[in-house]
């Protein structure tokens, strides 16, 4: 496949922490096709999360090249634009802003991107519907359960209509019922919207929803199926 | 929701800290408005008092630290009258004293017929003469405050004086004056043949240039005395300068304390919200928008504090100026410009104090924060 057709192409990523003592990525390369749903698996500390954050432009790499949808982001401003338009992020914890309501948390990525308040409000309503949280718009995060918060976080990651979703153990803090709900939601999103997904997970059931598994060990990785 | 909404929401949800910071800013701005308003008020009130008494030029002892402690010989007036542009001149004796009921009053004394008398507007009664043998006129506000009428007696320097008239003028000091004859007051204050100053009124055609020229000639003529326009004398007065320096010193300390307060609040806010800021970055907020959001928070805190401080400072200044010890001596000079200055200072404090923590917060590595490093 031509690299221009790939959603993500990362080549030779190297990242050291602690002044070079800890190696998180050691020349890792990965290609992700448009619309693919990939599980990033591997032992703790192998570099999965660093890879995920690097693919979102949130890690300053020592060496390596990342191409998103055929274009190599030129710098911080490019990455910021990508996160505001093309790349959505979901984390292990929901990390909703505690001072904002559920609806405002979902609206947050649209502030400064979508000028029309009416459009923003309509999109928030749609996303609340999508994640099964209609009627929760005015609720504060501390009044929601862990599963509900994670669904709001999922809606937030979709606010600007990203074509790539990077998720760092999105079910890691959830019970099995809520985990299943999130997984089904992600699979549905991929099926309906063609969103490319890269999901860090230790959960084999989550990995089973994915097309392929990419295993990261000691900062390098390879597709294992 | 917009960026201001995000900032306002943060402040609303952290109510106690926001209120305490607003309180700190409000106190600092209130101190600034009250102190600066009062010190400017003292200067303006004194200057206006001399203006409304008709004095253009004033001659005092050059070595005296302030106007009230000056001693000049009464006969110096004759030399001042030699200046061609001087239309009238008179010795003036000024003293502060406390009346029997504890009221502080300003006592002014001129010789009978001095030009100062003509600038007093009689509301009731008449002016005192030497044949009265111990008579004064008092300002209308003082008369009202003490419940004194024409014909009553008031003790000045522990001696009874008959009030023969009540006078008014457009100045708070003058409305609270006790004005008597020079000879009476010289005797009572052991200053026979002496005055505090020689006050001179220039002829109407003198103009600004003429006034400067007259001052220059009088200075040449009287090198051992201080000759000044009334404005210059008040501006250089030790009391006015002390009030001004104190006002600025206290205000500066209060403002710096408020700056530290906002800096502390915003630093805490940024430290507590490192993860929230990282999330903002992760969802595509550029650094400048995060900095702007935090600056707006600091700006909102300081704007609210500034507005409250302006109102409180005005109220404090007027309350202080009405207290028995200073009532009748000072009208706070709190202008729209002063309030605008205070508000802008508050706003600038908020923005500047927020800038460092905001920039630090926006620059942190989102990945490191989100991964708990």
Selecting from A84, A97, A99 the residue whose C-beta is nearest the C-beta of B279 gives: A97
Q: Does B3 touch chain A (CB under 8 A)?
A: yes
The residues, any chain, with a CB within 8 Å of residue B7's CB and separated by 6 or more, are B293, B294, B296, B297, B300
Q: Does B367 touch chain A (CB under 8 A)?
A: yes
CA distance A1 to chain B (A): 29
Q: What is the pTM of this model?
A: 0.70
Nearest residue in A to B7, CA atom: A99
CB contact under 8 A, A112 and B285: yes
pLDDT score recorded for residue A192: 85
CB contact under 8 A, B10 and A81: no
If one compares B71 and A225, the residue with the highest pLDDT of the two is B71
Mean pLDDT in residue range A156-165: 88
**A-B contacts (CB, under 8 Å):** 85
3-class secondary structure, A205: helix
CA distance B32 to B252: 8
A2 has a pLDDT exceeding 60: no
CB contact under 8 A, B283 and A53: no
A 49-108 residues with CB < 8 A to B? 49-50, 53, 56, 58-60, 76-77, 80-85, 89, 91, 95, 97-100, 104, 107-108
CB B365 within 8 A of CB A58: yes
3-class secondary structure, A193: helix
CA distance B292 to chain A (A): 12
Mean pLDDT in residue range B163-175: 82
Selecting from A17, A82, A112 the residue whose C-beta is nearest the C-beta of B3 gives: A112
B358 has a pLDDT exceeding 70: yes
Q: Which residues of B touch A83 (CB under 8 A)?
A: 281-284
B326 has a pLDDT exceeding 90: no
Q: Provide the residue count of chain B.
A: 373
The residues, any chain, with a CB within 8 Å of residue A164's CB and separated by 6 or more, are A7, A8, A68, A69, A86, A87, A88, A195, A196, A197, A198
Q: Which residues of A touch B365 (CB under 8 A)?
A: 58-60
CB contact under 8 A, A58 and B285: no
CB contact under 8 A, A53 and B371: yes
Q: Mind listing the pLDDT tens digit for each residue in B180-189?
A: 999 999 998 8
B325 has a pLDDT exceeding 70: no
CB contact under 8 A, B283 and A156: yes
CA angle at residue B53 from B49 to B55, to 5 degrees?
100
Between A164-168, A214-218, B203-207, B334-338, the lowest mean confidence (pLDDT) is in B203-207
Between A216-220, B105-109, B187-191, B355-359, the lowest mean confidence (pLDDT) is in B355-359
CB contact under 8 A, A84 and B283: yes
A121 has a pLDDT exceeding 60: yes
Percentage of residues in chain A having pLDDT higher than 70: 97
Q: Which residues of B touch A99 (CB under 8 A)?
A: 9-10, 12-14
CB contact under 8 A, B1 and A104: yes
CB contact under 8 A, B282 and A81: no
Across A12-16, A17-21, B264-268, B356-360, which has the greatest mean pLDDT? A12-16
CB contact under 8 A, A58 and B13: no
A3 has a pLDDT exceeding 90: no
Confidence of residue B330 (pLDDT cuts 50, 70, 90): confident
Nearest residue in B to A111, CA atom: B2
CA distance B352 to B25: 13
Nearest residue in B to A100, CA atom: B9
pLDDT score recorded for residue B307: 94
The residues, any chain, with a CB within 8 Å of residue B341's CB and separated by 6 or more, are none
Average pLDDT over chain A reads: 86
pLDDT score recorded for residue B373: 58
Selecting from B275, B286, B373 the residue whose C-beta is nearest the C-beta of A80 gives: B286
CB contact under 8 A, A109 and B284: yes
Selecting from B9, B367, B373 the residue whose C-beta is nearest the C-beta of A58 gives: B367
Selecting from B9, B275, B289 the residue whose C-beta is nearest the C-beta of A100 gives: B9
Residue B254: Cβ-neighbour burial (10 angstroms; 0-12, 13-18, 19+): buried
A4 has a pLDDT exceeding 70: no
Distance of CA A172 to the CA centre of its chain: 14
pLDDT score recorded for residue B321: 82
Nearest residue in B to A103, CA atom: B1
B317 has a pLDDT exceeding 60: yes
CB contact under 8 A, B12 and A99: yes
A39 has a pLDDT exceeding 60: yes
A 4-23 residues with CB < 8 A to B? 17
ipTM value: 0.85
If one compares B89 and A146, the residue with the highest pLDDT of the two is B89
B102 has a pLDDT exceeding 80: no
Q: Mind listing the pLDDT tens digit for each residue in A96-114?
A: 988 889 999 999 888 877 6
**Count of CA atoms in the C-beta half-sphere (13 A) of B254:** 26
Q: Does A137 touch chain B (CB under 8 A)?
A: no
Confidence of residue B304 (pLDDT cuts 50, 70, 90): very high
Average pLDDT over chain B reads: 85
DSSP A86: T
């Amino acid at each position: 496949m031509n690299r221009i057709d790939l959603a993500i192409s990362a080549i030779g990523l190297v990242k050291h922490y602690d002044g070079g003592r800890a190696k998180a990525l050691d020349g890792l390369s990965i290609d992700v096709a448009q619309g693919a749903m990939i599980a990033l698996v591997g032992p703790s500390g192998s570099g999965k999360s660093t890879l995920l954050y690097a693919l979102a432009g949130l890690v300053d790499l020592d060496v390596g090249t990342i191409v998103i949808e055929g274009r190599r982001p030129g710098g911080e401003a490019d990455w910021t634009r990508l996160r505001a338009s093309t790349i959505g992020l979901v984390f292990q914890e929901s990390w909703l802003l505690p001072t904002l309501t559920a609806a405002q948390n979902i609206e947050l990525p649209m502030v400064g991107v979508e000028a029309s308040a009416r459009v923003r409000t309509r999109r928030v309503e749609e996303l609340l519907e999508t994640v099964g949280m209609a009627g929760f718009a005015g609720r504060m995060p501390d009044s929601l359960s862990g599963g509900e918060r994670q669904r709001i976080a999922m809606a937030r990651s979709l606010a600007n209509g990203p074509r790539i979703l990077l998720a760092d153990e999105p079910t890691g803090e959830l019970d099995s019922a809520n985990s299943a709900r999130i997984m089904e939601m992600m699979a549905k999103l991929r099926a309906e919207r063609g969103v490319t997904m890269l999901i860090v997970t230790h959960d084999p059931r989550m990995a089973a929803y994915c097309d392929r598994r990419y295993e990261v060990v000691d900062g390098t990785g390879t597709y294992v199926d | 929701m917009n960026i201001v909404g995000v900032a306002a929401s943060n402040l609303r949800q952290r109510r106690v800290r926001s209120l305490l910071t607003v309180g700190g800013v409000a106190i600092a701005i209130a101190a600034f408005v009250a102190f600066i308003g009062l010190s400017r008020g003292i200067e303006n009130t004194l200057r206006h008092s001399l203006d409304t008494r008709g004095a253009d030029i004033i001659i005092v002892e050059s070595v005296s630290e302030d106007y009230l402690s000056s001693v000049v010989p009464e006969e110096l007036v004759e030399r001042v009258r030699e200046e061609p542009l001087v239309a009238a001149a008179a010795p003036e004796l000024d003293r502060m004293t406390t009346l029997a009921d504890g009221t502080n009053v300003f006592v002014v004394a001129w010789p009978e017929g001095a030009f100062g008398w003509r600038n007093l507007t009689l509301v009731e009664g008449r002016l005192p003469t030497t044949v009265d043998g111990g008579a004064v006129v008092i300002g209308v506000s003082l008369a009202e405050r003490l419940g004194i009428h024409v014909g009553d007696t008031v003790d000045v320097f522990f001696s009874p004086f008959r009030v023969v008239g009540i006078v008014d003028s457009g100045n708070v000091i003058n409305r609270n004056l006790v004005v008597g004859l020079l000879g009476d007051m010289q005797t009572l204050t052991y200053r026979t043949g002496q005055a505090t100053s020689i006050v001179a009124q220039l002829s109407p055609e003198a103009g600004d240039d003429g006034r400067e020229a007259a001052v220059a000639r009088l200075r040449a003529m009287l090198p051992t005395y201080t000759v000044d326009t009334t404005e210059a004398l008040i501006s250089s007065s030790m009391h006015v300068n002390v009030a001004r320096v104190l006002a600025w010193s206290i205000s500066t300390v209060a403002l710096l304390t408020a700056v530290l307060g906002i800096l502390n609040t915003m630093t805490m806010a940024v430290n507590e919200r490192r993860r929230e800021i990282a999330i903002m970055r992760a969802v595509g907020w550029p650094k400048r928008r995060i900095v702007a959001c935090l600056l707006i928070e600091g700006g909102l805190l300081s704007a609210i504090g500034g507005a409250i401080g302006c109102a409180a400072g005005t109220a404090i200044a007027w309350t202080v100026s009405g207290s028995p010890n200073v009532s009748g001596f000072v009208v706070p000079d709190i202008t729209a410009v002063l309030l605008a200055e205070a508000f802008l200072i508050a706003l600038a404090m908020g923005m500047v104090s927020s800038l460092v923590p905001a920039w630090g917060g926006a620059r942190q590595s989102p990945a490191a924060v989100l991964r708990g490093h």
